[in-house]
C-alpha cells in the first residue's frame, strides 16, 4: 500500500491534511516530528512527505526543527506554511518577520508554471495565516507563486522534488487547494491511489479472523458510531466469540437503546448483553446539579456496571475498543495502551482480566469509520448518528435529573431532530436542552407554568469551534409549535444563537 507521511510540527490543520490525502485514495499517517528520523522515513518507503504548519517562528530556539538530511532522501516533500519556512531555513534560505505585512485570511495569489499548479488558473484566492515569510530563497529553489505582500508564496526545487507553499491548500477557502494536493501526490510523488475503505475493511476482517481465531473477545458497546462499527467488524471476524456489553444508563435519546439492541442481536446476531441500569444511575444522580459531578458519577457508575457484567463472563482473551485515529493522535502518539481520557470506559482494563487489547479502527478517521459502517451493513441511523456525549441527556438537563424530566426532554429532542432532519443541509449537531427555568404560559383559557426548552444547532468542522446554524424560521416554527403542543409540561421554546467560543456546544 502506498503511504504518505504528514510530519507534524504542531499545526492546527494536521488531521485535515491527512484526511485530504486519504480522500484522494492515498493512505496518510501523521507522526510528530520528534518521533521519526529521516532514516526511518526512508525505511518506511513513504511515497511523499508533507510538513505541516505550526505556530512557531523558525528562529525561535524552542521551535521544532528537523534533520536537513530529509531533504536529500529523494522522497518528494511538500512544506505548508511553517513547513514551507522550515524547508527554506533547512535548505539555507532566509526567513524574516513581515511585521505588519503579515497575511491573514483570503489572499490573491499569482501562480507561475509548476507541476503542483498544473491545470489551475494563474490567479486564485488562497488562505494565508503567517507573519514570517521566506525572504531569501535557498540555492536550487525558484519562486513559483507570489502575493502583493509576499515575494515567495511558493517555491520549488524540481530536481530534489521539494515544494513549499506559504498558504494552506488543505482548507476549502483556498481555491484549487485539492488540485494542488492532487498534483503533488500524483504528479510529483507518483502515487497511483490504492487506498479504499472497502478493501481495508475486508482486509481487517480477514486479519482478525486469523489473529483472533478461537479467542474470546469482549467489547463495551456504547451505541456510538465507533464502538458500533468495531462490533460489526469483529462480529464478522470472530462471530460467536464476540460478546458485547451495552450499558443502557437510561440517559439515551428516544428509542436509541432499542435501535442498538435490535441491530446487534438481530441482524448481526452477536452475543449482546444489554444492562438496563437506569435505576442505578438515577439513584446516584438524584439531587445532583453540578455538571462535572454528574459526569464523574456517570463515568464511575458505568465502570461499576460493566465490571459486574464482565465478572460474570470471567476471563476474556481480548478486550476490544472503538478507538479511532484522532484518539490515537491526540492521546497517545501511537501508544496502543492509551485509552481516551474523555471516554466513559476509561479505566476498564485495570479491573478486567484480559490478555490483549485490539482496536480495529485505530487507523481510520471518523468519516472512514462511517463508510466502514455502511459497508458492514449497519443502519444509517447508527452510522450517521451525530456526536452524543457519553453522559447523555444528563448534561442536557440543567439542574437535577428526574425520570420525568428525562421523558420531557426525550420527546422535545425527538421532535426537533425530526423537523431539522427534513432540511436539505443538516447542522453537524442539533438537539434540545431542558432548562431549569419555568415560565408562565397560556393554554386554552388556563394559565400554565411549564419548562423552557432550548434548541441548539451548530455547524463545525472539529467541534473545537462552532457557529450556530441558521435554521430556517419555518422549521423552527414547526418544531416550537409541535413541542409546546405535544410535550406536556413545556410552555416555551427558545433558540440558542451563541457560537463557540465563547459558549460551548453543550449547555453543561
Which residues are identified as catalytic?
81, 168, 170
Nearer to ligand XMP, 109 or 251 (CB): 251
Stretch that binds ligand XMP, among 261-269, 302-310, 388-396, 471-479 (CB under 6 A): 388-396
CB of 115 to ligand XMP, least distance (A): 40
Query: Contact, 183 vs 176, CB < 8 A?
Result: no
Cα 81 from Cα 170, distance rounded (Å): 11
> 3-class SS at 484?
helix
Nearer to ligand XMP, 481 or 504 (CB): 504
Residue 220 β-bridge partners: 245
**Cell triple for 221:** 458497546
Residue 386 beta carbon to ligand XMP: minimum distance, rounded to whole angstroms:
8
- Candidates 105, 203, 463, 481; binder of ligand XMP (CB under 6 A) is 463
Question: Is residue 406 within the footprint of ligand XMP (CB under 6 A)?
Answer: no
**Left, alpha or beta for 213 (phi > 0: left; psi -120 to 50: alpha)?**
beta
Using CB under 6 A, which of 11, 373, 389, 427 touches ligand XMP? 389
Q: Least CB distance from residue 507 to ligand XMP, whole Å?
A: 8
Closest to ligand XMP by CB, 154 vs 505, is 505
Matching residue, cell 456496571: 305
Question: Which residue's CB is nearer to ligand XMP, number 236 or number 396?
Answer: 396
Nearer to ligand XMP (CB atom), residue 65 or residue 366: 366
Comparison of 112 and 504: residue with beta carbon closer to ligand XMP: 504
Stretch that binds ligand XMP, among 97-105, 281-289, 470-478, 499-507 (CB under 6 A): 499-507
Binder among 31, 130, 295, 492 for ligand XMP (CB under 6 A)? 295
CB of 468 to ligand XMP, least distance (A): 12
Task: Report the length, in residues, of the chain.
Answer: 508
User: What's the CA gap between 116 and 109, in Å, rounded?
Assistant: 14
Q: Write the DSSP string, 198-265.
A: HHHHHHHHHHHHHHTTT--EEEE--SSHHHHHHHHHHHHHHGGGEEEEEEE-S-S-TTHHHHHHIIII
Report the greatest alpha carbon distance in the chain: 85
342 binds ligand XMP (CB under 6 A): yes
- Cβ distance 271 to 243 under 8 Å? yes
Query: Which stretch in 48-56, 133-141, 248-256, 384-392 sits in contact with ligand XMP by CB under 6 A?
Result: 384-392
**Shortest Å distance, C-beta 448 to ligand XMP:** 31
Return the C-alpha cell found at 42: 526512508
Stretch that binds ligand XMP, among 107-115, 319-327, 438-446, 497-505 (CB under 6 A): 497-505
Q: Do 503 and 463 meet the contact criterion of CB atoms below 8 Å apart? A: no
Subset of residues 153 to 212 that bind ligand XMP, contact rule: CB under 6 A: none
Examine residue 500 and tell whether it contacts ligand XMP (CB under 6 A).
yes
Residue nearer to ligand XMP on the CB measure, 92 or 387: 387
Per CB under 6 A, 506 contacts ligand XMP: yes
Give me the sign of the Cα torsion angle 199, 50, 105, 464.
positive
Burial of 234 (0-12, 13-18, 19+ CB in 10 A): buried
Q: 88 in helix, strand or coil?
A: helix
Taking CB under 6 A as the rule, does residue 449 contact ligand XMP?
Answer: no
Where along the sequence are the contacts to ligand XMP (CB under 6 A)?
A: 295, 342, 387, 389-391, 429, 463, 500, 504-506
Amino acid at each position: 500500500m502506498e503511504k504518505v507521511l504528514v510530519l507534524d510540527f504542531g499545526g492546527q490543520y494536521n488531521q485535515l491534511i491527512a484526511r485530504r490525502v486519504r480522500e484522494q485514495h492515498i493512505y496518510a499517517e501523521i507522526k510528530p516530528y520528534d518521533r521519526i528520523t529521516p532514516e526511518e522515513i526512508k525505511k518506511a518507503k513513504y511515497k511523499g512527505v508533507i510538513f505541516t504548519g505550526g505556530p512557531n517562528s523558525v528562529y525561535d530556539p524552542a521551535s521544532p526543527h528537523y534533520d536537513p538530511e530529509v531533504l536529500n532522501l529523494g522522497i518528494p516533500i511538500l512544506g505548508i506554511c511553517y513547513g514551507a519556512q522550515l524547508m527554506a531555513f533547512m535548505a539555507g534560505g532566509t526567513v524574516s518577520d513581515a511585521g505588519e505585512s503579515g497575511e491573514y485570511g483570503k489572499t490573491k495569489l499569482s501562480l507561475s508554471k509548476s507541476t503542483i499548479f498544473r491545470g489551475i488558473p494563474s490567479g486564485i484566492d488562497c488562505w494565508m495565516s503567517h507573519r514570517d515569510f521566506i525572504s531569501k530563497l535557498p540555492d536550487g529553489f525558484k519562486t513559483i507563486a507570489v502575493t502583493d505582500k509576499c515575494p515567495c508564496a511558493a517555491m520549488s526545487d524540481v530536481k530534489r522534488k521539494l515544494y513549499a507553499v506559504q498558504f494552506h491548500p488543505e482548507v476549502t477557502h483556498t481555491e484549487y487547494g485539492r488540485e494542488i494536493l492532487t498534483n503533488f501526490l500524483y504528479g510529483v510523488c507518483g502515487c497511483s491511489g490504492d487506498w479504499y475503505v472497502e478493501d481495508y475493511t475486508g482486509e481487517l476482517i480477514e486479519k482478525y479472523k486469523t489473529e483472533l481465531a478461537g479467542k474470546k473477545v469482549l467489547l463495551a458497546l456504547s451505541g456510538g458510531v465507533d464502538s458500533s462499527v468495531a462490533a460489526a467488524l469483529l462480529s464478522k471476524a470472530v462471530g460467536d466469540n464476540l460478546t458485547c456489553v451495552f450499558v443502557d444508563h437510561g440517559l439515551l435519546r428516544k428509542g436509541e437503546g432499542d435501535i442498538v439492541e435490535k441491530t446487534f442481536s438481530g441482524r448481526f446476531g452477536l452475543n449482546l448483553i444489554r444492562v438496563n441500569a437506569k435505576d442505578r444511575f438515577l439513584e446516584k444522580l438524584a439531587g445532583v446539579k453540578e455538571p462535572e459531578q454528574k459526569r464523574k458519577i456517570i463515568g464511575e457508575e458505568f465502570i461499576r456496571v460493566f465490571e459486574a457484567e464482565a465478572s460474570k463472563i470471567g476471563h476474556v482473551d481480548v478486550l476490544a475498543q472503538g478507538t479511532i485515529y484522532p484518539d490515537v493522535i491526540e492521546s497517545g502518539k501511537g501508544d496502543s495502551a492509551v485509552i481516551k481520557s474523555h471516554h466513559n470506559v476509561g479505566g476498564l482494563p485495570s479491573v478486567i482480566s484480559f490478555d490483549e487489547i485490539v482496536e480495529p479502527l485505530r487507523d481510520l478517521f471518523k468519516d472512514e469509520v462511517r463508510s466502514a459502517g455502511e459497508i458492514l451493513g449497519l443502519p444509517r441511523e447508527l452510522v450517521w448518528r451525530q456526536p452524543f456525549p457519553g453522559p447523555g441527556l444528563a448534561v442536557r438537563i440543567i439542574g437535577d435529573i428526574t425520570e420525568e424530566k428525562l421523558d420531557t426532554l426525550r420527546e422535545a429532542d425527538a421532535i426537533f431532530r425530526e423537523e431539522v432532519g427534513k432540511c436539505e443541509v443538516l447542522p453537524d449537531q442539533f438537539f434540545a436542552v431542558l432548562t431549569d427555568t419555568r415560565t408562565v404560559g397560556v393554554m386554552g383559557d388556563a394559565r400554565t407554568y411549564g419548562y423552557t426548552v432550548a434548541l441548539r444547532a451548530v455547524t463545525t468542522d472539529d467541534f473545537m469551534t462552532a457557529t450556530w446554524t441558521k435554521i430556517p424560521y419555518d422549521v423552527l416554527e414547526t418544531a416550537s409549535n409541535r413541542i409546546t403542543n405535544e410535550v406536556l409540561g413545556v410552555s416555551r421554546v427558545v433558540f440558542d444563537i451563541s457560537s463557540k467560543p465563547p459558549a460551548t456546544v453543550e449547555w453543561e
